[in-house]
Amino acid sequence: MYATKQPSLRIKQADLKCKNGCGYFGNADWDGYCSKCYRNQMEKERQKKSKQSQQGDHSKATSFSKFEEKKRQQSDKKTKYFLPVFRKTSSLKETGRPEKYIDIRQMNPDADKLLAEFISAYGEWGEAVRKDFLKCVQSFTSKIIHELDLKSVEELADIAQNYYQLYNNRLNNNAVYQSVTPEVRDKLLDFFERYSMVSLYTFLFCPPSTNDEEKDLSIQDRIRKLSWVNAHHLDCCISETSLEVRDLVYTAINDLLGMDSMKAPQEKLACVVRCCRSVVEVLQHCQGGPVSADEFLPALIFIVLKANPARLKSNMLYVTRFCYGARLMQGEAGYYFTNLCCAVSFIENLTAESLNMPQQEFEAYMSGEVTCVSAWESALVACEGMHQLCEHLSLLKGLSERMTAVRDDTQKLKDDMHRLKEEINDKVTSVLERTPLVIQPRKTILPLTMEFLKSLPPLPDKVEGAASDEVDTAPKYYQQNITMNQMGLSNPKPKLQLDITPCVSLPSASEVKPSLSTEFLTVASPAVDKSLDSITPDDNSYLGLSKINYDIDFSDISAENSIIEDLGESRRSPTMSFTPDPFSPMGTGCTIMQSPLVPSAAEMPRAEDPPARKNDFVLPFLEEIEKEGTSEETLLDKVEETPTICLPPPIKPTEYTGFSKQGSKIPSIPCNTGDFSSLNSTPNAGSSKDTN
């Protein structure tokens, strides 16, 4: 800023000194004077002017003609030129001021909002703090408004800085703030600045008495002329093609543009900080590692050039004037703001040399003879379509990724299904290999069972009828048959009969689906498999088989019992259906049909196919299983993993059998007690079976 009027890059000592030659440093904002000489100069002008105004109409006419020029000369404000015309006396003007003041207080909605914010944030510190704060703000704002017409902006800024300092001292020394913690004191000071500045914004931002607006326009024009400058010219490595970088650049530009919409100096400063942080991020993306000032400043210049923020100079001057100085020059905000000042200063003094290009080329660009085709420009402006294309490409990329994921998954699923199929096939074949002998006895027995059924008392008839009605019954029926066969193989015949009776009874109760299903679930659940497996390692395959079948049978029996009870008492059915649940972790919703499939079904997702199909399936499958005997090693492994789970299923059926027996004899038994008793009895029953 010291070098604003100087085209060369180096500042000569003389340029920095006060024009008066007093030895102090001058400032472009003070017409090249130092602060003291500038004030003196102003005083002189003021006096001159007052003399002129006293001279009468003639001077007024000239003052109008020179309006633009004089407007800027701090001594007289616009109102002064107009007021004499409309108002006869100065006394009127005096009264006018308080009116204006009242208006500000009432008309400013932001002030109310801030007050509410203050109370919510600092209300806890008590009424005294609030009162004192508002008192200070009021005295500050009224002072400024009072002086508004009389003093230059720089003087007002001095007053503001004095007040900040005063309030800071007050915060640290006044008894009112004794209880307030230091951090909150800092915040209060910030809030003091914010509150008063938001209230005074309209008067202090880009005041008509200064040439701030003109500076805004000139820098805006300058930046527009330099629109051809790209990142390459500035030696900063902003990759223009990366989407991520572009987004960050946009956010940086937006933050910088947002500065104009803020009212308090510290809020404007916060915008600058946000912008600069984005710039740092951009650089990180482009080069990696920590960002030093060597890279940061060119990037910031680039952002400023591309953003071309509105009223840039006014904003910066407003911040420098009315932000609490001690704050402004410290910390991150101070550093970034300084960098922004540097960037603007650089842009103002930009020459061909500073862009490392020949003078001719620079001039050609500046005059618009040559237009620079920059990738950035096209990205920013020319090609909205290009931008969309990029976005769509990324979208497509994402979609294709998802597609491949889906494809992979389907492939995986396919493989899994294949594997499952193979596994099942292997199992089935292995089972077949193991127990080829079983086939014959079974076949012979099957008709036998039919005969038995026929020969049996009225119950079997019902069963048959029920079986024909229900799809579910069929598989069970078969199962039981199978078990019978096996039993026949391994055990004495009396058991066969026992088994048969339950299976006959089962179908009869077609209504009691839930109970059946639950039982089946228990059977279908992996636990059953495990139980089977668990048995197998101990005994021969035959024994195991018998046991497996046994379990299933018993469950069926229990179901029958429940059914019977239901028939007798409607209460029973729900209780029965309920009891199996704890044993079967799987949902009750599973189809009954799974039960026959049990050994393989647990692993097979297909097992859950519609029941009708299963029926078809089941019969051959079961037969196969029976023939082959128990499943082998794979199942064994699984069993060993969770031996605890294995126990329940055998238990349950046994319980149920007991129940069934009891139930058939004694229909009315409370469900709970029955359950417990069944649990207790289970081990015994299991052991007895083993012995058998």
Could you say which of 35, 40, 53, 662 contacts other proteins (CB under 8 A)? 53
Could you say which of 326, 370, 405, 413 contacts other proteins (CB under 8 A)? 326
- Binding part of the chain for other proteins, among 2-10, 112-120, 311-319, 413-421 by CB under 8 A, reads 2-10
Using CB under 8 A as the binding criterion, the count of chain residues that bind other proteins stands at 64
- Binding part of the chain for other proteins, among 198-206, 217-225, 326-334, 416-424 by CB under 8 A, reads 326-334
Cα(537)–Cα(429) distance, integer angstroms: 19
The pair of structure tokens assigned to 428 is 């089935």
Instruction: Please tell me whether residue 13 binds other proteins under the rule CB under 8 A.
Output: yes
- Binding part of the chain for other proteins, among 292-300, 362-370, 435-443, 618-626 by CB under 8 A, reads 292-300
What's the one-letter identity of residue 40? Answer: N
Nearer to other proteins, 33 or 659 (CB): 33
3-state SS, residue 435: coil
Closest CA to 500 of 556, 546, 541: 556
From residue 230, how far is each of 235, 253, 254, 302, 427 by CA, in Å? 9, 15, 18, 7, 72
Q: Counting beta carbons within 10 angstroms of the beta carbon of residue 323, is it exposed (0 to 12), middle (13 to 18) or buried (19 or more)?
A: buried
Output the smallest distance, CB 292 to other proteins, in A: 4
Cα(402)–Cα(408) distance, integer angstroms: 10
Place of tokens 């027996």: 661
Cα(67)–Cα(61) distance, integer angstroms: 10
Output the smallest distance, CB 211 to other proteins, in A: 21
Beta-carbon contacts of 634 under 8 Å, excluding residues fewer than 6 positions away, are: 423, 427
Output the smallest distance, CB 422 to other proteins, in A: 51
User: How many CB atoms are located within 10 Å of the residue 216 CB?
Assistant: 21
Could you say which of 28, 341, 424, 586 contacts other proteins (CB under 8 A)? 341
Nearer to other proteins, 284 or 430 (CB): 284
DSSP state letter for 17: B
Nearer to other proteins, 241 or 330 (CB): 330
Site string for other proteins, 201-240 (x = CB under 8 A): ----------------------------------x-----
Cα(394)–Cα(412) distance, integer angstroms: 27
Could you say which of 96, 98, 123, 331 contacts other proteins (CB under 8 A)? 331
Footprint (CB under 8 A) of other proteins, residues 295-314: 296-298
The pair of structure tokens assigned to 73 is 């000369």
Instruction: Please tell me whether residue 98 binds other proteins under the rule CB under 8 A.
Output: no
Site string for other proteins, 68-97 (x = CB under 8 A): -------xx---x--xx-----x--x----
| CB 431, CB 631: distance < 8 Å | yes
Output the smallest distance, CB 316 to other proteins, in A: 11
Output the smallest distance, CB 356 to other proteins, in A: 8
Cα(564)–Cα(665) distance, integer angstroms: 11
Beta-carbon contacts of 383 under 8 Å, excluding residues fewer than 6 positions away, are: none
Beta-carbon contacts of 401 under 8 Å, excluding residues fewer than 6 positions away, are: none
Instruction: Please tell me whether residue 150 binds other proteins under the rule CB under 8 A.
Output: yes
Instruction: Please tell me whether residue 290 binds other proteins under the rule CB under 8 A.
Output: yes
Footprint (CB under 8 A) of other proteins, residues 500-519: none
Q: Which residues bind other proteins (CB under 8 A)?
A: 1-3, 9-11, 13, 16, 25, 46-47, 49-50, 53-54, 75-76, 80, 83-84, 90, 93, 147, 149-151, 155, 158-159, 162, 235, 277, 280-281, 284, 288-294, 296-298, 325-326, 329-332, 334-336, 338-339, 341-342, 345-346, 349, 353-354, 356
